[in-house]
A = this chain, B = another copy of it.
Amino acid sequence: MDGDQTPRPRRTAPKEVRRQQLIDATIDTIAELGVSRATMTEITGRAGLSIGIVNLHFDSKDNLLKATLTHLAEELRLRWGAIHADAALGPAQKLWGVIGAAFDADIATRNKMRCWFGFFGEARYRAFYREMVAAYDDERAAVVEALLRDLAADGAPPAVDPHALTQSLECLSDGLWLGMMLYPDWVDPDAARQRLWELLSSHFPARFPPGATAAMDSVR
Q: Which residues of A approach B to under 8 Å, CB–CB?
A: 31-37, 114, 117-126, 129-130, 134, 137, 159-160, 164, 167-168, 170-179, 181-183, 186-187, 191-192, 194-195, 198-199, 202-203, 210
Residues in B whose Cβ lies below 8 Å from that of A122: 34-37, 118, 121
Residues in B whose Cβ lies below 8 Å from that of A167: 179, 186-187, 191, 195
Residues in B whose Cβ lies below 8 Å from that of A202: 159, 202-203
A-B contact pairs, 11 of them (CB 8 A): A34-B36, A34-B123, A118-B122, A120-B182, A164-B194, A168-B198, A168-B199, A171-B176, A171-B179, A175-B176, A178-B178
| Docked pose: A172 CA to B129 CA in angstroms | 22
Chain B, residue nearest A203 (CB): B202
Assess the B121–A198 pair: CB atoms within 8 A.
Answer: no
Residues in B whose Cβ lies below 8 Å from that of A192: 171
Assess the A160–B198 pair: CB atoms within 8 A.
Answer: yes
Assess the A171–B187 pair: CB atoms within 8 A.
Answer: yes
Residues in B whose Cβ lies below 8 Å from that of A186: 167
| Docked pose: A103 CA to B104 CA in angstroms | 31
Assess the A175–B171 pair: CB atoms within 8 A.
Answer: yes
A218 to chain B, nearest CB (A): 20
Residues in B whose Cβ lies below 8 Å from that of A31: 123
Assess the B179–A170 pair: CB atoms within 8 A.
Answer: yes
Residues in B whose Cβ lies below 8 Å from that of A171: 172, 175-176, 178-179, 187, 192, 195
Which residue from B117, B168, B203 sits with its C-beta under 8 Å from A120? B117
Given A167-B186, A171-B178, A182-B130, CB of A114 within 8 Å of CB of B118: no
A23 to chain B, nearest CB (A): 18
Residues in B whose Cβ lies below 8 Å from that of A198: 160, 164, 168
| Docked pose: A177 CA to B123 CA in angstroms | 15
Given A171-B178, A179-B174, A186-B167, CB of A121 within 8 Å of CB of B117: yes
